[in-house]
Amino acid sequence: MASKISPTDLLRSTDKNRSPRASGRVTLSDVAQSVGVSAMTVSRALRGERRVDPKLVAQIQAAAQRMGYVPDPAARALASQKSSQVLVLVPLLSNTLFVDLIESIHRVLFAAGYHALIGVTHYDRSEEEQLLHTYLPLRPAGLLLTGFDHSPAARELLASSKIPCVHMMELSAETDAPHPAQEAMSSTPCVGFSQTQAGAAITRHLLERGHRRIGFCAGQLDARVMQRAAGWRAELEQQGLYEPSLEILSPQPTSMALGAELLAQALQRRPDMDALFFCNDDIAQGALLEALRRGIPVPERLAIVGFNDLPGSDQMLPPLTTVRTPRGAIGAESAQMLLSLMQGKPVAQPRLDLGYTLVVRQSS
Amino acid sequence: MASKISPTDLLRSTDKNRSPRASGRVTLSDVAQSVGVSAMTVSRALRGERRVDPKLVAQIQAAAQRMGYVPDPAARALASQKSSQVLVLVPLLSNTLFVDLIESIHRVLFAAGYHALIGVTHYDRSEEEQLLHTYLPLRPAGLLLTGFDHSPAARELLASSKIPCVHMMELSAETDAPHPAQEAMSSTPCVGFSQTQAGAAITRHLLERGHRRIGFCAGQLDARVMQRAAGWRAELEQQGLYEPSLEILSPQPTSMALGAELLAQALQRRPDMDALFFCNDDIAQGALLEALRRGIPVPERLAIVGFNDLPGSDQMLPPLTTVRTPRGAIGAESAQMLLSLMQGKPVAQPRLDLGYTLVVRQSS
DNA sequence: CTGTTAGCGCTTTCAA
DNA sequence: TTGAAAGCGCTAACAG
């Protein structure tokens, strides 16, 4: 195992002789030198590439550990043209939904040696585009995006970057909710559930409970909210119960205050309303409190249901009936799918439906 | 403006001759060549370094724009030993407080060309340590940490990294709340407010309202919560009203459900309790709902106050009295301070107190 | 004010 | 299975 020591290595061996630009960190060649192999071998060994003598691998790992070697992500990214970061774009952080999503993504990616770089789009296509513009040059190893609603320029960026990408929270090519760019993404990897079907399911629940004038109240009119609306509407139409005046929409972001306001609007417009389906639990909670303030018996006079099963919904008066969405699982499975894609492995189910659960409490 | 074109540049000029490793992106030398200057000049011009002919700067910027040049962060990080990322560590994302903090940090840093890399510690010193271990090698340009509660090893890492760092949400060297490592950090840059004083202030408010048996209920017993407790306790002691049984603490994370539980515990232990100070609005909200369920008149029979002024607190029945904390401003000012530190500029107020506001609503 | 030189620390490529 | 050479794209450190 007589080793040839390159001039550079010799230079490095003496601390005095280190280049003035050296950062002082332990490098690959430091480890290589100490073991008596080339830097290349250390690089391969540490990355777990095959075709390295197992004995050497053990020795190298021990040395790296002992010397406190930590790979330099910048150097690695520069040389290999890809970083260990995964860009994760979500619309908001103020909805627990996305926090849960991020937490489970982080857990899976972190364990696999990747870092989640989080970007917030505020439900704005141009903000998303700008984020892609600034973050794509970081050469993320993968992308995790919320929904399919991108600007054309963003689509372009994504396509030309050729970076593996998984879409979260909704499914491509839903036959019951035609999507503008449906065709283009029928093969796009995605993990989620049918927002439309979930919206339809909770509407059916209300119908089964005997409600007939079921309103839909929503803020933050993003694509997924509109899919829920479509599910609600389809069920009502099927029963011949749909009327435009049952739809109370506001472009404002959802909040408890907005819930109170929409409840008021709904009852003013349709005093005969006997149930309300809110697009998200936070506005439903606000509506529940407003009903309490107004002395409206829930669910006797008016049933109220929400969506997502957020914290606090079980604490309301009465506890809120809602749809539990599997965001934790969506995050984990998306990350897992992305890991496969990044490794070039085939993905068994590139369109993964994780379903939803109706949670019936006392508000309906 | 006759330019010397280096051999490498000539090589690059012909697409056929590009190295097999080239990434295809437009590089600094591409721009340099097109303008007829050296890569170094382009580098300086684009980074806005002084000592470059303004005319050249304009020309170079135009060329970069036209050619679609985007700097490579990895190459930049490798050469300069610092990335454009700022590591931001927060305990949680499920508390709106930290989301607000992050949003404003992001806004300030992004505008200055930096990216926020967010890490979540879950109030766990060893998790924080691990995050530092894995993220410090990314050579972040700066650090933004929540609180001062680090493990010794983490302190070591921070100190030896020599990366500029600002602590958020609490202030160093509070004379009224001795901190374990107080001395060491009396000069540490920090932006926040006195948690102790804020806790004392809302307690005084309750005392002024005539309450005498004021309990303190808390979950998630982190350093800042305990500082609020200290403020509460000091006020009570001053009036000779402090008793250990008034303190109801739980190690569990705060939530509305925990609020309900702690209210129950408090009333069981001290049926004569006439006011409760909850360490965070979410548990206070849960307590308010529990009071409603139990038919306890608030504030007549029992006053309830919270902390942070989170969304929904104004929607409660009755609306919650609380302390509004300036997390948006804290995020913005911390980021601003960090920018100064990163540029080596002196910081006028390295210990910035942004105060707090008592928000008196109907629950007290 | 501008350019030259020499790396930053790693990995691709190719040769042994 | 291992190694040598040659960069990745940029900037620090001098010169001029």
Task: Report the alpha-carbon distance of residue B225 to residue B245 in Å, rounded.
Answer: 18
User: What's the pLDDT at B170?
Assistant: 95
User: Residue B362: what residue type?
Assistant: Q
For residue B13, CA distances in Å to B7, B8, B41, B72 come to 10, 9, 18, 20
Task: Report the alpha-carbon distance of residue A219 to residue B239 in Å, rounded.
Answer: 49
- Residue B14 in this model has a pLDDT that exceeds 70: no
Calculate what percentage of chain A has a pLDDT beyond 90: 82
* Per-chain mean pLDDT for chain B: 90
Confidence (pTM): 0.89
Mean pLDDT over A15-41 rounds to: 83
Buried b (16+ CB within 10 A) or exposed e, A88-127: bbbbbbbbbbbbbbbbbbbebbbeeebbbbbbbbebeeeb
- Pair (B251, B150) in one structural domain: no
Element holding A311 (H helix, E strand): none
> Which strand C bases fall within 7 angstroms of a protein CB?
1-14
- Residue B290 in this model has a pLDDT that exceeds 90: yes
Residue B113 CA, nucleotide C11 C1', distance (Å): 29
Q: How close, in Å, is residue B137 to chain A by CA atoms? A: 6
CA angle B208, B209, B214 (to 5 degrees): 90
What's the length of chain A?
364
Q: How confident is the model at residue B13 (pLDDT cuts 50, 70, 90)?
A: very low
User: What's the pLDDT at B17?
Assistant: 52
Task: Report the alpha-carbon distance of residue B49 to residue A163 in Å, rounded.
Answer: 33
Q: How confident is the model at residue B15 (pLDDT cuts 50, 70, 90)?
A: very low
- Which residues are within 8 A (CB) of A183 and not within 5 positions of it... i.e. 6 or more apart? A173
Asked if residue A6 belongs to a domain, the reply is: no
Q: pLDDT tens across A290-306, in order?
A: 999 999 999 999 999 99
User: What's the pLDDT at B18?
Assistant: 60
Contact A150, A158 (CB under 8 A): yes
Domain count, chain B: 3
Name the pairing type of β-strands A165-169 and A142-146. Answer: parallel
> Which strand D bases fall within 7 angstroms of a protein CB?
1-14
Calculate what percentage of chain A has a pLDDT beyond 70: 91
Instruction: Say how many Å lie between the first and final Cα of chain A, rounded.
Output: 77
Instruction: Please name the member of A74, A282, A316 whose beta carbon is closest to the beta carbon of B83.
Output: A74
Q: Which of A5-9, A205-209, A339-343, B71-75 has the highest mean pLDDT?
A: A205-209
Backbone φ and ψ of B190, nearest 5° = -155, 150
Residue B248: which region, alpha, beta or left (left: phi > 0; alpha: psi -120 to 50)?
A: beta
- Pair (A319, A202) in one structural domain: yes
- For the segment 62-101 of chain B, residues whose CB is within 7 A of strand D: 69, 71-72, 75-76, 78-80
- Pair (A235, A156) in one structural domain: no
Task: Report the alpha-carbon distance of residue B335 to residue B340 in Å, rounded.
Answer: 9
Task: Report the alpha-carbon distance of residue B23 to residue A132 in Å, rounded.
Answer: 18
**Which of the listed residues A71, A94, A111 is the one where a domain comes to its end?**
A71
Task: Report the alpha-carbon distance of residue B256 to residue B282 in Å, rounded.
Answer: 5
Neighbours of A143 (CB within 10 A): 22
Instruction: Please name the member of B75, B81, B118 whose beta carbon is closest to the beta carbon of A23.
Output: B81
Asked if residue B18 belongs to a domain, the reply is: no
Q: Which CATH number goes with the domain that contains A160?
A: 3.40.50.2300
Asked if residue B111 belongs to a domain, the reply is: yes
Residue A40 CA, nucleotide C11 C1', distance (Å): 8
User: What's the pLDDT at A21?
Assistant: 81
Mean pLDDT over A22-26 rounds to: 86
Backbone φ and ψ of B43, nearest 5° = -55, -50
Copy the structure tokens of residue A248: 């109370």
Mean pLDDT over B258-274 rounds to: 97
Asked if residue B360 belongs to a domain, the reply is: no
Q: pLDDT tens across A4-15, in order?
A: 333 333 333 344
Mean pLDDT over A31-44 rounds to: 93
Q: pLDDT tens across B230-243, in order?
A: 999 999 999 999 99
Element holding A213 (H helix, E strand): none
Backbone φ and ψ of B96, nearest 5° = -50, -35
Asked if residue B140 belongs to a domain, the reply is: yes
- Pair (A212, A239) in one structural domain: yes
Calculate what percentage of chain B has a pLDDT beyond 90: 81
Of all residues in chain A, the one with the smallest CA distance to B294 is A317
Is the CB of A316 inside 8 Å of chain B's CB atoms? yes
Instruction: Please name the member of A96, A256, A317 whose beta carbon is closest to the beta carbon of B315.
Output: A256
Instruction: Please name the member of A23, A103, A317 whose beta carbon is closest to the beta carbon of B293.
Output: A317
Task: Write the DSSP assignment of A64-131 as a string of letters.
Answer: HHHHT----HHHHHHHHS--SEEEEEES-SSSHHHHHHHHHHHHHHHHTT-EEEEEE-TT-HHHHHHH
Neighbours of B315 (CB within 10 A): 20
- Pair (A308, A202) in one structural domain: yes
**Which of the listed residues B53, B71, B89 is the one where a domain comes to its end?**
B71
For residue A27, CA distances in Å to A12, A54, A250 come to 10, 21, 57
Residue written as token pair 């109240």: A217
> B318: which DSSP letter?
S
Name the pairing type of β-strands A357-359 and A322-324. Answer: antiparallel
- Rounded to 10 deg, the angle between the B223-238 and B195-208 helix axes is 40
Instruction: Say how many Å lie between the first and final Cα of chain B, rounded.
Output: 76
Which residues in chain A have their CB less than 8 angstroms from residue B73's CB? 74, 137-138
Residue A81 CA, nucleotide C11 C1', distance (Å): 10
> What is the number of alpha carbons within 13 Å of residue A14 lying toward its C-beta?
5
Q: Which of A19-33, A179-193, B254-268 has the highest mean pLDDT?
A: B254-268
Q: How close, in Å, is residue A280 to chain B by CA atoms? A: 14
Footprint of strand C on the protein (CB under 7 A): A 18-19, 21-25, 27-29, 39-40, 43, 46-47, 69, 71-72, 75-76, 78-80; B 3-4, 6, 20-21, 37-41, 44, 50-53, 56, 75, 78-79, 81
User: What's the pLDDT at B23?
Assistant: 82
CA-closest candidate to residue A352, choices A335, A131, B358: A335
- Pair (B188, B334) in one structural domain: yes
User: What's the pLDDT at A18?
Assistant: 62
Calculate what percentage of chain B has a pLDDT beyond 70: 91
Copy the structure tokens of residue A293: 């303030």
Q: Which residues 78-97 of chain B have a CB within 8 Å of chain A? A: 78, 81, 83, 93-94, 96
Q: How confident is the model at residue B149 (pLDDT cuts 50, 70, 90)?
A: very high
- Which residues are within 8 A (CB) of B29 and not within 5 positions of it... i.e. 6 or more apart? B8, B9, B12, B39, B42
Contact A86, A116 (CB under 8 A): yes
CB–CB contact A115 B94 (8 Å):
no
User: What's the pLDDT at B99?
Assistant: 96
Q: Is the CB of A34 under 7 A from strand D?
A: no
Is the CB of B71 inside 8 Å of chain A's CB atoms? yes
Whether omega for the bond prior to residue B137 falls within 30 degrees of 0, making it cis, is no
Is the CB of A222 inside 8 Å of chain B's CB atoms? no
Backbone φ and ψ of B70, nearest 5° = -130, 125
CB–CB contact A99 B94 (8 Å):
yes
Neighbours of A135 (CB within 10 A): 18
Q: B123: domain range?
A: 81-193+329-355
- Residue B8 in this model has a pLDDT that exceeds 60: no
Q: pLDDT tens across B55-65, in order?
A: 999 999 999 99
- Pair (A56, A120) in one structural domain: no
Copy the structure tokens of residue A108: 């899976």
User: What's the pLDDT at A26?
Assistant: 92
- Residue B327 in this model has a pLDDT that exceeds 50: yes
- Pair (B45, B91) in one structural domain: no
Backbone φ and ψ of A56, nearest 5° = -60, -45
Task: Report the alpha-carbon distance of residue A170 to residue B240 in Å, rounded.
Answer: 59
CA-closest candidate to residue A287, choices A314, A310, A269, A267: A267
**Nearest nucleotide relative to B78: CA against C1':** C8
- Judged by DSSP in three states, A297 sits in coil
- Pair (A279, A340) in one structural domain: no
User: What's the pLDDT at B187?
Assistant: 72
Q: How confident is the model at residue B172 (pLDDT cuts 50, 70, 90)?
A: confident
Mean pLDDT over B29-50 rounds to: 91
- Is the CA virtual torsion B289, B293, B295, B301 positive or negative? negative
Q: Which residue of A28, A70, A72, A136 to mutate against B (max B Cβ within 10 Å)?
A: A72
CB–CB contact B74 A139 (8 Å):
yes
Q: Where are the beta strands (DSSP E) in chain B?
A: 85-90, 115-120, 142-146, 165-169, 190-192, 214-218, 247-249, 275-278, 303-305, 322-324, 351-353, 357-359
Q: How confident is the model at residue B176 (pLDDT cuts 50, 70, 90)?
A: very low
Neighbours of B343 (CB within 10 A): 10
Asked if residue B271 belongs to a domain, the reply is: yes
Mean pLDDT over B342-359 rounds to: 93
- Pair (A102, A178) in one structural domain: yes
Q: pLDDT tens across A258-280, in order?
A: 999 999 999 999 999 999 999 99
> B347: which DSSP letter?
-
Q: Where are the beta strands (DSSP E) in chain A?
A: 85-90, 115-120, 142-146, 165-169, 190-192, 214-218, 247-249, 275-278, 303-305, 322-324, 351-353, 357-359
Task: Report the alpha-carbon distance of residue A165 to residue A141 in Å, rounded.
Answer: 9
Asked if residue B64 belongs to a domain, the reply is: yes
> What is the number of alpha carbons within 13 Å of residue B342 lying toward its C-beta?
24
- Pair (A67, A172) in one structural domain: no
Instruction: Please name the member of A96, A115, A256 whose beta carbon is closest to the beta carbon of B312.
Output: A256
User: What's the pLDDT at A179?
Assistant: 47
Q: Which residue of B93, B97, B327 to mutate against A (max A Cβ within 10 Å)?
A: B93
Task: Report the alpha-carbon distance of residue A120 to residue B147 in Å, rounded.
Answer: 24
- Residue A174 in this model has a pLDDT that exceeds 80: no
The mean-pLDDT minimum among A7-16, A110-119, B200-209 falls in: A7-16
- Residue B178 in this model has a pLDDT that exceeds 70: no
Q: Which CATH number goes with the domain that contains B28?
A: 1.10.260.40
Residue A32 CA, nucleotide D4 C1', distance (Å): 14
User: What's the pLDDT at B323?
Assistant: 98
CB–CB contact A293 B23 (8 Å):
no
User: Residue A237: what residue type?
Assistant: E
Neighbours of A208 (CB within 10 A): 9
CA-closest candidate to residue B217, choices B206, B201, B228: B228
Asked if residue B4 belongs to a domain, the reply is: no
Backbone φ and ψ of A308, nearest 5° = 105, -20
Task: Report the alpha-carbon distance of residue B162 to residue A25 in Å, rounded.
Answer: 13
Q: Which residue of B72, B95, B156, B262 to mutate against A (max A Cβ within 10 Å)?
A: B72
- Residue B363 in this model has a pLDDT that exceeds 80: yes
- Pair (B151, B299) in one structural domain: no
User: What's the pLDDT at B185?
Assistant: 44
- Residue B284 in this model has a pLDDT that exceeds 70: yes
CB–CB contact B106 A120 (8 Å):
yes
> B26: which DSSP letter?
-
Backbone φ and ψ of A165, nearest 5° = -145, 135
Neighbours of B362 (CB within 10 A): 13
> B46: which DSSP letter?
H
